[in-house]
Amino acid sequence: MPESLREHELFKINIFKGGSIMGQDMEKLYEERLKRYVTALKNEKPDRVPIRIFAAEFTAKYAGYTSQEVTHQYNKAFEAVRKCAKDFDWDATVINMVYVWGGLVDHFGQRYYKIPGIELPPDIGFQYFEPKDEENAFMKENEYDALIESPTEYLANIWMPRISRNLVPIGAPNTFRNNMAWLKGGISMMEYFSACGEAVGLLKSECGTVSAIAGILKAPFDILADKLRGFRQLSVDIHRQPEKVGKACEALMPYMLQNAMVTSDPAKQVPVTVWLHRGTMFSENVYEKYFWPTFKEIILQLWKNGIQTLWYGEGTWGKWLKYTAELPEKSIIYHVDKEDIFEAHKQLGDKFAISGGIPNDLLAFGTPQEVKEYCKKVIQTVGKDGGYILDASAIVQSDAKIENIKAMTEAALEYGVY
């Protein structure tokens, strides 16, 4: 079986397409940026602080597209990212942070998204809606045993028919719509992933910019707390059936690890990203008992295979720094959202590279001078000895001012050279 999906022949065709048409100057620029980025990821000192922006609807605003256009027409999303990467001199970025393609959602029929241009105005970013009660939960309280017994079969047979408006549950009369949703869902995903491979090549050949991440990971507890049981329902489960919550995390662990492994960078240069959602919303006891053990094991296994994890801690993860510090040196890159980046650096900076920490409200409401000053402070303290990657705290939405994103680049070029 292929070690990685990116080595799969169906994907390989497109992934390296862009590389063959690169000019020498662009190739040199790309190699410089790759070296800069990878050096910082390893918590070492590159020639300059790398600029690696995770930007979603901001790219649409800058390129003159609506949110609907970049959500439904992924080539416009890729193009908008390339325009930003070129104009703002980004060393690395993600080919498309508007990660939900509306076409796939339309064909497969996920119920949990509201899509711009359909349920939302064309200029609003897509939204995730979670069931608020047991009656509407996508995984029911008495289904833990089925999930634990065989996670993949549980997803395919029970969970997916619930989250899709097109699928019928096992045992119900089959429908044409059901069959077509499976067919078109699969085809849609193949088409999108194939286009992503091509977009990585174009980002390299047209902009000399590195595709910043490869691979996806969710912590088992997190995935239980959002798309499976949901936050409210899991909050009840940890009191009513705590053992099953623990066993479900253990059962999900090897599957989440495998999913991360097959989507990771075969060259092992850029990290798998874990998008951390709900762990900080529970008590330390819950974190220590249910969240941390299986999540830690996945990170250790990835690291054993030479793969770094980008710890994208949405919200404030600072209260768990003592747990994070248990991880092996360089095994993660700690991305700062709302917590104190200076404190995070003080506690973790010797072991791990740090990224982010430039507040999104500053990018939305501040002046370019304020943004530059804040970036300067972060670069000169957190980035003093290397191991810092300049980025916003959270994914950049359309509220960020264009002049403030430009100011981030200026700060890196003015204050970030070692």
- Residues that bind other proteins in the complex, under the rule CB under 8 A: 1-2, 5, 8-10, 99-101, 104-105, 108, 110, 149-153, 155-156, 159-160, 163, 185-186, 189-190, 216-218, 223, 227-228, 254-259, 262-263
Pick the closer one to other proteins by CB: 117 or 254: 254
Pick the closer one to other proteins by CB: 53 or 160: 160
* Residue 152 C-beta: closest distance to other proteins, Å: 5
Pick the closer one to other proteins by CB: 114 or 376: 114
* Residue 371 C-beta: closest distance to other proteins, Å: 31
The sign one gets for the Cα dihedral 24, 26, 27, 29 is positive
Tokens 């509220």 sit at which residue? 399
* Residue 113 C-beta: closest distance to other proteins, Å: 8
* Residue 8 C-beta: closest distance to other proteins, Å: 7
Tokens 């000192």 sit at which residue? 45
The arrangement of strands across the sheet holding 92-93 comes to 52-53, 92-93, 210-211
| Residues 397/56, Cβ–Cβ less than 8 Å | yes
* Residue 195 C-beta: closest distance to other proteins, Å: 14
* Residue 260 C-beta: closest distance to other proteins, Å: 9
Pick the closer one to other proteins by CB: 11 or 317: 11
Q: Whole-angstrom Cα distance, residue 245 to residue 125? A: 32
* Residue 189 C-beta: closest distance to other proteins, Å: 5
Pick the closer one to other proteins by CB: 120 or 146: 146
* Residue 411 C-beta: closest distance to other proteins, Å: 32
Pick the closer one to other proteins by CB: 102 or 366: 102
* Residue 1 C-beta: closest distance to other proteins, Å: 5
- CA atoms within 13 A of residue 107's CA, in its CB half-sphere: 18
3-state secondary structure the chain: CCCCHHHCHHHHHHHCCHHHHCCHHHHHHHHHHHHHHHHHHCCCCCCECCEEECECHHHHHHHCCCHHHHHHCHHHHHHHHHHHHHHCCCCEECCCCCCCCHHHHHHHCECCEECECCCECCCCCCEECCCCCHHHCCCCCCCHHHHHHCHHHHHHHHHHHHHECCCCCCCCCCCHHHHHHHHHHHHHHHHHHHHHHHHHHHHHHHHCCEECCCCEECCHHHHHHHHHCCHHHHHHHHHHCHHHHHHHHHHHHHHHHHHHHHCCCCCCCCCEEEEECCHHHCCHHHHHHHHHHHHHHHHHHHHHCCCCEEEEECCCCHHHHHHHCCCCCCCEEEEECCCCHHHHHHHHCCCCEEEECECHHHHHHCCHHHHHHHHHHHHHHCCCCCCEEECECCCECCCCCHHHHHHHHHHHHHHCEC
Pick the closer one to other proteins by CB: 101 or 352: 101
* Residue 149 C-beta: closest distance to other proteins, Å: 8
Pick the closer one to other proteins by CB: 185 or 357: 185
Pick the closer one to other proteins by CB: 22 or 262: 262
Q: Whole-angstrom Cα distance, residue 395 to residue 99? A: 11
* Residue 309 C-beta: closest distance to other proteins, Å: 14
Pick the closer one to other proteins by CB: 259 or 308: 259
Spell 21-48 as b/e; 16+ CB within 10 A means b.
ebeeebeebbeebbbbbbbbbbbebbeb
Pick the closer one to other proteins by CB: 185 or 313: 185
